[in-house]
Structure 1
Amino acid sequence: MNEAEVLAEFRASGALLEGHFKLSSGRHSGHYLQCARVLMNPARAARLAEAVVAGIPADVVERVDTVVSPAMGGIIVGHEVGRVLGKDALFLERPEGTFHLRRGFALDPGAKVLMVEDVVTTGLSSREAIAAVAREGGEVIAECALIDRSCGMVDLGVPFHPLAAFDFPTYDEGDIPEELARIAVTKPGSRK
């Protein structure tokens, strides 16, 4: 699946939003990719997960013991990637602000983990989730995602395999262009 096909999936599901958005990273953008909406159709979610897995090198896939995703955004795509790989799919939560496993989830000591995200912009959530896996006794060997909004600029400390990269500009709070600042800001992500 190429980037145009991925973008077509987002458009077809009404998941490519335009306006003024405050992203989970804290940055602002005129575009928001609502992955929950693109993944709400199980057949579409399966197609996207299969395409994500197809972009991961075979030597990485062979080493994966468990799939882990940060809640909320990564849960559906992580579950679908786990299905494609035939591996358990766990998710991290942060009800008190720090990611950790709950709900009886646990990693075997030294488990090789594939981290799965929906969208990566600055990589903050990913790095926090990778650190949580280490605290839980696992080792993240790579991360995959539906979308890389950093266009290859993010450093997660592990190999990163996004399905597609989009160069929708993002802005710090103090650098928002006037035309974007005139639009009321919306905070659609899961992080407060």
Structure 2
Amino acid sequence: MLSLKKSLNILKKTDALLEGHFVLSSGLHSSKYIQCAKLLSFPDLADKICKSLANKIKKNFKKIDLILAPAMGGVIIGYEIGKILKKETIFCERVNGKFTLRRGFSIKKGARVLIIEDVITTGKSSLECVKLLKKSNAKLVGFASIIDRSTKKSLKIKNKIVSHLKIDVPSYNLKNIPKSLKSIPITTPGSRFIK
């Protein structure tokens, strides 16, 4: 398994860990943004992190039939973890603002499904994926991510999350932004608002 120091070095080396003033997909403001797409654009470095995460998933979740990843952020990480664990992996994508299974993907009744994302902050996307499991009468095994940057206050998921890294990065709603953060121009890097 990769150490915290080595993992952070990889994130910084690939520009996956950014600093500034960001509005996250959740609408919260933060001084740090984790852009896993940058990490995943370096497959040799991402492979080390994916293998480490796959080992943690194996230890925590004994039976998985299917991996479900929300597009866009979860597609590559879902594929990589599926390849390592030798599990079927599908993704869902937004149609009219709601996650939908397309491209012939389906979830079998009773399937044990792991939902995997690149970064979990509030868990909103993951919980939207759970609706697809309920519709298919499948079973949620749990959640996994490269980075878990949630806090007890921000997280809407009540189940266990297995992550490669747990990073504590404060996030603020519009009313509570510190002065130091207010003075930095805002960047909105997430994919949820892309038209």
TM range (shorter): over 0.9
Q: Is the 8 A contact 2:122 2:157 kept in 1?
A: no
Quick one: distance in 2 between partners of 1:78 and 1:138?
A: 18
Tell me, yes or no, if structure 1 residue 29 matches structure 2 residue 30. Answer: yes
Find the counterpart in structure 2 of residue 132 from structure 1.
Answer: 132
Distance in 1 (CA, whole Å) between partners of 2:168 and 2:40 is 21
Q: Which moved more, 1:136-145 or 1:75-84?
A: 136-145
Number of aligned residue pairs? 191
3-state DSSP class of the match of 2:150? Answer: coil
Please give the alpha-carbon distance, in whole angstroms, between the structure 2 residues aligned to 1:113 and 1:5.
30
Give the CA deviation at 1:151.
4.8
Aligned partner of 1:183 in structure 2 is 184
Q: Deviations over 1:83-122 (max 9, x none)?
A: 0110111111112111121111111111111111111111
Q: Which residue number in structure 2 is paired with residue 54 of structure 1?
A: 55
Tell me the residue number matched to 1:87. Answer: 87
In 2, Cα distance between equivalents of 1:137 and 1:102: 18
Q: CA deviation at 1:125?
A: 1.4
| Residue matched to 1:104 | 104
- SS of corresponding position for 2:45: helix
With the length of structure 2 as denominator, give the TM-score of the two structures.
Answer: 0.91
Cα deviations across residues 158-182 of structure 1 (Å, max 9, x unaligned)? 3211111111111001111112112
* Cα distance change on mapping 1:189 and 1:59 into 2, 3 Å: closer
Whether contact under 8 Å (1:70, 1:129) holds in the other structure is: yes
Unaligned runs of 5+ in 1: none
1:45, distance to aligned residue in structure 2 (A) = 2.3
- Alignment of 1:117 with 2:120, yes or no, is no
Q: Relative to 1, partners in 2 of residues 1:95 and 1:165: Cα closer, same or farther, differing over 3 Å?
A: same
Contact 1:20 1:186 in 2 (8 A): yes
Structure-2 residue corresponding to 1:149: 149
| In the alignment, structure 1 residue 18 sits paired with structure 2 residue 48 | no
Gaps of at least 5 residues in structure 2 are none
Shift of 1:157: 3.5
Q: Deviations over 1:114-156 (max 9, x none)?
A: 1111111111111111222222332221111111112566352
Matched letter for residue 100 of structure 2: H
Q: Quick check: 2:69–2:92 contact (8 Å CA) kept in 1?
A: yes
- Report the TM-score when normalising by structure 1: 0.93
Alpha-carbon distance between aligned partners in 2 of 1:182 and 1:89, rounded to the nearest angstrom: 43
How far 1:10 sits from its partner (Å)? 0.4
User: CA deviation digits over 1:7-27, x for unaligned, max 9?
Assistant: 111011111111110001110
Please give the secondary structure, in 1, of the residue aligned with 2:187: coil
Q: Kindly provide the amino acid, as one letter, of the partner of residue 12 in structure 2.
A: R
